[in-house]
Structure 1
Amino acid sequence: MGSLVTLLPLPEVEMLAHFRLHWCLVCLLSSIWLLVFKRKWAWTAVLAAGIHAFPFVAFSMGQGKPVSPFTLFSANVHRPNRSVDKVMAAIKEANPDVIILIETDHWWVEQAHQALTQHYPFECAIPRSDNFGMMVLSRLAGDINHLELGSADIPSIIMRLEHDQKPLTLIATHPLPPISHHTTRLRNQQLDDLAQYVAGIDTPVIVAGDLNTTIFAHSYARLVSNAKLRHAGLGSGTYATWPSYLGIMGIPIDHVLVSEPLRGSHFRVHRNIDSDHLPISVSIGLTNQP
């Protein structure tokens, strides 16, 4: 039952909240052991496992199907990684209309530009020598610009585009990881600024990237609540993107979020590209369904 403290909206325990699947398994195994040996608290452990499992059940619930969708691909390439062939193979497999690449330095920007610009003529690149460069490439026409959110001096990218004769706004962002009290505060500030910015946009919105938070965290819940967003992967089941070597036992920190009346379908986690993150893709479109 002590694991249920991770449900509290306290910054001191949010790091533990990211590992909801692991807590669920611990409680489940504990309940089996307690039941086999007929110990007290067995059903309490079963209850705790059920509480931890609830977000996975809720995330697997379906949503309305999008009409005339386009595909978005997002990958944190991991700046020191040089396996560009694996990244391009994942992009080819997804066949996206819009590509977001995160942690791009000058080398990555040059490689992506050479390989993709012929088919993705609309481009915005912010190369950096740290882990907060970013690049958006699109074969859908639109205006792409830099966007500053929060006070950490980390760039985001905003793209205003049209799809199926409807205006849309895409925001690609990558807040700081919550590895200390200071970076957690800056991450939360960026996510809060993002929510406020999205709330003021008069078109349907897509937010995508490595958000350095999970669907189990209160920072994520505050973002989707204040910005009125939903995860584009709803109905696809649980997933994990980091660290890549753990596969499904990792945690989901790469996301695609959409506002009404957008919906997602065919949400997918792609194969390892030698990054510490796994890439994701999803088809997005408008829907009249609730």
Structure 2
Amino acid sequence: MLSIALATVATLLLGITLLARLPVHWWWIRACEFPRMQIASLALMTLLLAPFAETPWQWLALVGGLATLVIQACYILPWTRLWPVQVQRAESGHDERCVRLLVANVLTPNRNAEGLIALINQHSPDIVLTLESDDWWGQQLDAALASQWPHAVRIPQDNLYGMHLYSRLPLVSPQIERLIQDDIPSISTGVTLDCGDDIQLYAVHPRPPAPNESKESLWRDAELLLIGKRIRDDSVPTLVAGDLNDVAWSRTTRLFCRVSGMLDPRRGRAMFNTFHAHYRLLRWPLDHVFSSEHFTLRDLRRLPEFGSDHFPILTTLCYRPSRADEHENPEADHDEHQQANETIREGKARGQED
């Protein structure tokens, strides 16, 4: 029985791994991209137990487990210290050129606003971005943050896609946008740093591919790629932050980085898994901060949980355009740009579907 069980598990893991490579938008295929660490761990366990299996099941367990582990490792390793960093380390000083950004998906039913506010007061970020924040959350945050973070964009919604942006730094021409679907907002704004320079910030929270949300990842993918193309066309210092409802190593997120030229400060450092805060064995990097080549990284950390199913993430990036040539920007080829354009067109055409 052990032999058959090991061979079955190895075959199943390899099947899930290969399914994730299919270029389709079906939610259950895209969901196969999320638990890569978990699948790799199970594949390793299968390999370790394979010598105890009988032939021919032993060979199935060995080949399936090894193939799965190798494929998954190719996706996972860039988010470990075994890989070169993508965003260079900031030097000391130049504090006036740095921006400290805290991103927190609050989980709408969660009512522990005091826990999040305590983290904000402890770490004193320049910008606070909350996701899934409804009118109740907005009232709590306004009362606690308005004096020290006077510049704000408020989008209270009770459909899990509300967001609030609070900033100590002045905001320049902030806009609320609904890029693909009318009930999914995003924020686009300039931010004036203490040094006087302006940067661009996009705050996003697209709809996830899930059976209770959306049967396809099309609308999430289209929103991210649309922002990516805008960043590429604008060529200004830019940060993108939010809950992308996508993992760092997914097909879409990697394509977004190549289309936009944006860099991931986690690469070469760690995964900084932010979801799920309550289940240690079911975690992956779902909340993101990306930067253009104009920034270096001073600090990146995951903060303690406060009742949400997401951990907050705190990132300090320094605007250092003189060091831009130290970064190797990802580049999309012609076919990838065409793929992005087609996804955006289809997403806009079918924008109001669920």
Same fold by TM-score, threshold 0.5 exceeded? yes
1:223 deviates by 1.3
Q: Which residue does 2:331 correspond to in 1?
A: none
Q: Deviations over 1:70-98 (max 9, x none)?
A: 21000011111110111112212332111
Q: Does 1:64 align with 2:84?
A: no
- What is the percentage of aligned positions where both structures have the same residue? 23
SS at match of 1:154: coil
Q: Does 1:19 align with 2:35?
A: yes
Q: Does 1:147 align with 2:198?
A: no
1:248 deviates by 6.2
Q: Which residue does 1:206 correspond to in 2?
A: 239
Given that residues 239 and 248 in structure 1 are in contact (C-alpha distance below 8 angstroms), is that contact kept between their aligned partners in structure 2?
A: no
2:273 alignment partner, one of 204, 222, 240: 240
Q: Deviations over 1:131-179 (max 9, x none)?
A: 1111111111222221221134321111201223332100101111211
Q: Which residue does 2:140 correspond to in 1?
A: 111
Given that residues 233 and 264 in structure 1 are in contact (C-alpha distance below 8 angstroms), is that contact kept between their aligned partners in structure 2?
A: no
Please, which runs of 5 or more residues in structure 2 have no aligned partner?
1-13, 328-354
Q: Which residue does 1:134 correspond to in 2?
A: 163
Q: Does 1:2 align with 2:15?
A: yes
Q: Does 1:185 align with 2:215?
A: no
Q: Does 1:281 align with 2:304?
A: no
RMSD, aligned α-carbons: 2.0
Deviates more, 1:247-256 or 1:181-190: 181-190
1:182 deviates by 4.4
Q: 1:25 to 1:228 in 2, by over 3 A?
A: same
Q: For the pair shown, which has the larger CA radius of gyration, 1 or 2? A: 2
Q: Deviations over 1:227-276 (max 9, x none)?
A: 11121323331222222112363121111111112233422111111111
1:172 alignment partner, one of 203, 207, 212: 203
Determine the C-alpha separation between the residues in 1 that align with 2:179 and 2:298. Answer: 28
Counterpart mapping for 1:212-231 below 5 A: 212-231=245-264
Structure 1 counterpart of 2:131, one-letter code: I
Determine the C-alpha separation between the residues in 2 that align with 1:93 and 1:247. Answer: 25
1:47 deviates by 4.2
Q: 1:14 to 1:97 in 2, by over 3 A?
A: same
2:59 alignment partner, one of 33, 37, 40: 40
Q: Deviations over 1:35-78 (max 9, x none)?
A: 45473252552343133123332123323113533210000111
- TM-score w.r.t. structure 2 length? 0.76
Determine the C-alpha separation between the residues in 2 that align with 1:179 and 1:44. Answer: 28
More strand by share: 1
Determine the C-alpha separation between the residues in 2 that align with 1:273 and 1:257. Answer: 24
2:111 alignment partner, one of 68, 82, 85: 82
Q: Which residue does 2:74 correspond to in 1?
A: 54
1:192 deviates by 2.2
Q: Which residue does 2:340 correspond to in 1?
A: none
Given that residues 241 and 254 in structure 1 are in contact (C-alpha distance below 8 angstroms), is that contact kept between their aligned partners in structure 2?
A: yes
Q: Does 1:261 align with 2:294?
A: yes
